[in-house]
Every structure is written in C-alpha cells, then in structure tokens.
Amino acid sequence: MSDEDVILDVEHVKKYFPVRRTFLQAVSRQSGGQVHAVDDVSFKVRKGEIFGLAGESGSGKTTFLRTALMLTAPTSGSIKFKGTEISRFNRRQMKKFRTRIQVIFQDPYESVNPRMTVFDIVSEGLYVNNLVKSREDAVQRVTKALSDVEISPPEEFIYRYPHELSGGQRQRVAIARALVLEPELILADEPVSMLDVSIRAEVINVLLSIREKKGISIIMVTHDLALSKDMVDELAIMYVGKLVETGPAVDVVSSPYHPYTHALTAAVPVPDPDAPKIRVLARGEIPTNISPPPGCRFHPRCPFAQEICKNEEPPLVEATPGRKVACHFWKEAHEAFSKGMDAPAGAEIAQ
C-alpha cells in the first residue's frame, strides 16, 4: 500500500505525566518521577482500516486515544493526519480539525445526555461546527446518520430520549453522533465492553458496515482478543506504554510471537467445557509505569527471560513480513508455542 493511503501516522509518540512529589522529595528538591503512560509508540493507520490497540488496564491504551484526539498534547513525537502534523495545532486550528476525527466512548449509559433527545444528541456537533443552515437540513442529516447505524425508522426515533432506547441502540446513537460529522477516522474506546453479549454483535456489525460503505478508518481500543480477531485488521499489543507486537489480528492472536501476547491468549476462556483450561503464563501483575522495569518491561514476568532481557530493551522490529515484535527471543518463544509448549524446556511456569 502506498503512503497516500495512510490516514494517521503516529511516530515516536510519548506521553509522560509528572507525579506529584512527596513531602520529602519536595524538601530535598528531588523530582517525583513521571508516569510513562505512552512511551515511544509508532504505527500507521490506513484508509478503511480497523486498527486494534489491545492490552491490560494500565498499559496506556486510553492515554494514547486521548493523545491522538489532542485532548492532551504528547510530550514528544509526531501525529500526522493525512500528512498534516496535528500535534502542533493551536486551539483554533484544532477546533476546525476536530470534525475529521470523532470518538465513541465505552459506556453508552454515560456518554449520552439523558435530558437530550436523539435528535439533539446527534445534531449537536453539526450546530457547534456551523455545518447546517436550517433545521430541515439538520433533520435530514441526522436521519441519514441514524439510518447508517441501522436505527429504523429514524423518523420515529428522532424525538425519543435515551431511556427509551436499549443499550445497543444507545451505542448506535453514539456512533451516529460521530458519523454525522463525516469523519475520516473514528476512535472507539472499548465500544462494546459495557454491552450485553447478545447485543454486542449489532454494534460491531454497524462499525464494520460504516467502514465498508464509507471507508472510514477506526482505531479500536479493546482488551478482548477474541473480539479483535473477528473485527480488527491490524492489531497492536501494548504493554506498559509500549507496543510489543503488531500484525494482522488473526495471525497475532492465533500464532503469537511475543511471550506476553501468548500469555494473554492463553488466559482467554473459550465457550467449550472440553477445551484446555485457561492458563496463567505471566508471573505477578503488570508493573507501574512510574518506574518500569529496565530492559524489556515484560522480563520480570516472562518465562523466556534471560540476562540480556534485564539490561537491553528489545526494539520493535519486523520479524516476518507484516509482523513486528519487540522480544530478544521471539524465535525461540514462537517455536515453543507452535509445539504446544508455554515456556522453554525446564523453565518454571507461573502457575
């Protein structure tokens, strides 16, 4: 694919937050340290692509989304939208730009105002951005957006309030609110994790169809690897502020290279009582990103870790065409996984 297809080009983005100093640190004029929420993350999102960002809580997924939306400026690095550097935009430029990247939040019970009608919710962005001349115009565009998210008949829903909608309908209204501004990129923060299983698919299928019909790119933050495989084209696994593995979602999930990705997939339960039981392959828990471990950040939990992992941070490099991994021993790890082993021979497994 040519570079013209690239909608969002993220290069070496870092976002650090200062930690408030303790009394002692203040007295001795020491710094309180920094939270390395996003630490040197680079990737590209292409037109019409669904890009998944997966990881545990605290891995920096949501901070990344906020940075990409420029709700908080990156500490360093560049974010280019179709070649234009947006991380240096001033407020006015940003306001004009905002319609082109829209966002869908996790919880449709929180993200839509209960005192506004569906029309008010969806049309608000049109009015804020002076995109409509008349009410008829607004009604028409809202109706169109609602039918794009399969709320039908839209005329009937337009004057309803959120409490009259099901969870799935609410989330689709939230998608319509993003869609009505005709964005080129939608950022979705765990768009179905708060919804009941039975209605998740209706929201997922709407997202897939707007990508299909309108060529809108989507960055989806998720912790659900099984869902990523079904929905996402390109998947990036994030761990303590860094990307540890990227590649086509189906390949990453079904045949991981990084021991962390493997640990994640082994812990996902499957709806089959005869399937092997879920396994815990990473010791302990995710470290804080105030003072992340030196070397590879995963080494204290990793069954493959050796001396070098404690000292040298592995870069994210292309392992096989289209797939990148940040691990000194990915070849050994991948070979072990494909033989059905979770750790190198003789190594101790977490549980």
Partner 1 sequence: MTVLSVQNLKMYYKTSAGEVKAVDGLNFDIGEREVLGIAGESGCGKSSLASTLLKLLPSNAEIKEGKIIVEDADLVSMKDSDVRRNVRWTRIALVPQGAMNALNPVFRVGDQIAEAIMAHSNVSKADARAKTETLLKLVGIDPARGRHYPHEFSGGMKQRAMIAMSLALNPKILIADEPTTALDVIVQAGIIRLLLSVKDEFQTGVILISHDLALVAQMSDKTAIMYAGKFVEYGASKEVYKNPLHPYTLGLLGAFADIRKPKEALTSVPGSPPDLIDPPSGCRFNPRCPYAEEVCRTDEPPLVEAFPGHSVACHFWKEIRAQRSQKT
Residues binding partner 1 (CB under 8 A): 56-57, 166-168, 196-202, 204-205, 223-227, 229-230, 250, 253-254, 263-275, 277-282, 285-286, 351
Closest distance of CB 159 from partner 1, Å: 20
3-state SS string for 275-320: CCCCCCCCCCCCCCCCCCCCCCCCHHHCCCCCHHHHHCCCCCEEEE
Closest distance of CB 147 from partner 1, Å: 17
Q: Are 43 and 236 in contact (CB under 8 A)?
A: yes
Q: How many helices (H) and strands (E) does the chain have?
A: 14, 12
For the chain, how far is it from start to end, CA to CA, in angstroms? Answer: 43
Name the residue nearer to partner 1 (CB basis): 248 or 344: 248
State both tokens at 73: 């400026």
Name the residue nearer to partner 1 (CB basis): 140 or 205: 205
Name the residue nearer to partner 1 (CB basis): 338 or 351: 351
Name the residue nearer to partner 1 (CB basis): 70 or 225: 225
Closest distance of CB 26 from partner 1, Å: 22
Closest distance of CB 197 from partner 1, Å: 5
Closest distance of CB 35 from partner 1, Å: 16
Name the residue nearer to partner 1 (CB basis): 271 or 346: 271
Backbone angles phi and psi of 248, in degrees to 5: -60, 130
Rounded distance between C-alpha atoms, residue 167 and residue 164, angstroms: 10
Name the residue nearer to partner 1 (CB basis): 134 or 351: 351
Does residue 153 have a cis bond before it (omega within 30 degrees)? yes
Closest distance of CB 301 from partner 1, Å: 9
State both tokens at 72: 């908080």
Q: Which residues does 252 contact at the CB level (< 8 Å), separation at least 6?
A: 235, 237, 245, 246, 261, 323
Q: Which of 143, 192, 141 is nearest to 171 (CA)?
A: 192
State both tokens at 225: 């690897």
Name the residue nearer to partner 1 (CB basis): 266 or 341: 266
Name the residue nearer to partner 1 (CB basis): 276 or 346: 276
Name the residue nearer to partner 1 (CB basis): 224 or 313: 224
Closest distance of CB 74 from partner 1, Å: 25
CA angle 216, 222, 226 (to 5 degrees): 100
Q: Which of 119, 95, 121 is nearest to 174 (CA)?
A: 121
Closest distance of CB 27 from partner 1, Å: 24
Count CB neighbours of 253 within 10 A.
24
Closest distance of CB 100 from partner 1, Å: 29
Q: Which of 104, 124, 126 is nearest to 172 (CA)?
A: 104
Rounded distance between C-alpha atoms, residue 90 and residue 76, angstroms: 16
